[in-house]
Amino acid sequence: MSSIKIRTKRLNGNTQIRTLITHPMENGRHKDKQGKLIPAHHIRELWVEHNKVKVITCHMAGGISKNPYFDFLLKGGEVGDVINITWVDNQGKTDSKPYIIK
Amino acid sequence: MLKSRRQFIKKMFSIAVYGLAVSSNFVCAKLADTQWLEQSFQPSSYKETLKHLFKGVRLIKSKRIKFSRLPRVAENGSIVPITVASSLKNVNKISILVKKNPIPLIAEFHLSPAVEARVSARFKMAKTSDVIAIIEADGKFYFKSKKVVVAVGGCGS
C-alpha cells in the first residue's frame, strides 16, 4: 500500500493538488510509554513533478504534523497530465506515487 | 578463452571503479546539501535561524501575503493548519517559521513558475507564538506574521 494519497480538483482553470502522506513525523522529542525518547523519524524532502518536470520541492523537519497534508495550486494542468509525488525521510526511506489528472 | 575472460574481468573492474567515482561525487554533493539543511533545521533560537537562512537580507512587511485557515486559537498544538497565499509576482520560495518552536523553521517550499504562490500544510506548535511566512519574490524578501494562541503544545517535552 502506498503511503501517498493524491487528489486533484479543477479550480478556475488551475489544478489544486492535495496530498496526504502516512508518516509518523517524529521530531525526536516525544517519549514512549516507558519514558524513552522516540528517535526522530520525519520526512526531509518532498517533491512534486508535473509531466516529469519538478514544480515544487519542499524541505521540512519534525515541525510538520503527523501524517502530513499539503495542498498546492498548479497553473493550468490538463486531463491526462501526470503528477508524481516523492518523499525521502531522515532514515533513508522513500516512497513515490504517480497520479493522472482526471 | 582465458584471455577474453581476463579482459572481461578487467572491463568490469574499470566500470565498477567509474561507477563508484561517479556515485561518490553524487553522494558528496548530496551530503553538502543535507548538511546545509541539517543546520537550517537545528534546534536554535528564532534569531539564529533567521541569521542562518536570511543573512544580510532586509525583510519587508507585506500586505500581499495572506494567511487563511490559520486559527487565532489552536486547541491542539500538534495539528495547526495554514494556507499561505500571495499576490506577489515571481514567488520562488515560501518559508514558514514559528518563533517559539524548538526548531523554528517548519518548512521551505521552492516553487517553480508553473505553480501559484499558494501552499497549505499542517504543522506543530510548542506554545503560543508568532507564525511567520517569508516569501522570496524577484530577489526580495517579504514577510507576514500572526500570533497564534496554543492551548496544548504539540512538540513533546
Give me the pLDDT at residue B154, please. 85
Going by CATH, does the domain composed of B46-152 fall within 2.60.40.2470? yes
Flag whether residue B4 sits within 8 Å of chain A, measured between CB atoms.
no
Give me the pLDDT at residue B36, please. 73
Range in A2-16, B23-37, B72-86 with the lowest mean pLDDT: B23-37
Give me the pLDDT at residue B34, please. 66
pLDDT above 60 for B82:
yes
pLDDT for B104-118, tens place per residue?
A: 999 999 999 999 999
Q: Any idea what the CATH number is for the domain that residue A18 is in?
A: 2.60.40.10
Q: Which residues of B touch A54 (CB under 8 A)?
A: 112
The mean predicted confidence, pLDDT, of chain B is: 87
Give me the pLDDT at residue A86, please. 95
Query: What is the nearest CA distance from A3 to chain B, expressed in angstroms?
Result: 17
A58 or B156, greater pLDDT: A58
Cα separation, B148 vs B129, whole angstroms:
6
Q: Which residues of A touch B106 (CB under 8 A)?
A: 60-61, 63-64
Contact predicate B105/B97, CB 8 Å = yes
Give the one of A60, A69, A74 whose C-beta lies nearest to B114's C-beta.
A74
Flag whether residue B102 sits within 8 Å of chain A, measured between CB atoms.
yes
Q: Over its length of 102 residues, how does chain A's per-residue pLDDT go in tens digits?
A: 789 999 999 999 999 999 999 999 999 888 899 999 999 999 999 999 999 999 999 999 999 999 999 999 999 999 999 999 999 999 999 999 999 998
Cα separation, B133 vs B86, whole angstroms:
10
Query: What is the nearest CA distance from A15 to chain B, expressed in angstroms?
Result: 9
HSE-CB of A94 using CA atoms within 13 angstroms:
8
Q: Which residues of B touch A71 (CB under 8 A)?
A: 83, 119-121
Give me the pLDDT at residue B30, please. 62
Domain count, chain A: 1
Give me the pLDDT at residue B68, please. 93
Domain that holds residue A53: 4-100
Give me the pLDDT at residue B29, please. 60
Q: Which residues of B touch A62 (CB under 8 A)?
A: 103, 124
As a whole number, mean pLDDT of residues B96-102 equals 94
Give me the pLDDT at residue B4, please. 77
- B102 to A29: CB separation less than 8 angstroms, yes or no: yes
Q: Find, among B81, B70, B76, B37, the residue nearest to B146 by Cα.
A: B70
Give me the pLDDT at residue B157, please. 62
B155 or B119, greater pLDDT: B119
Contact predicate B126/B77, CB 8 Å = yes
pTM: 0.84
Cα separation, B117 vs B107, whole angstroms:
15
Query: What is the nearest CA distance from A40 to chain B, expressed in angstroms?
Result: 12
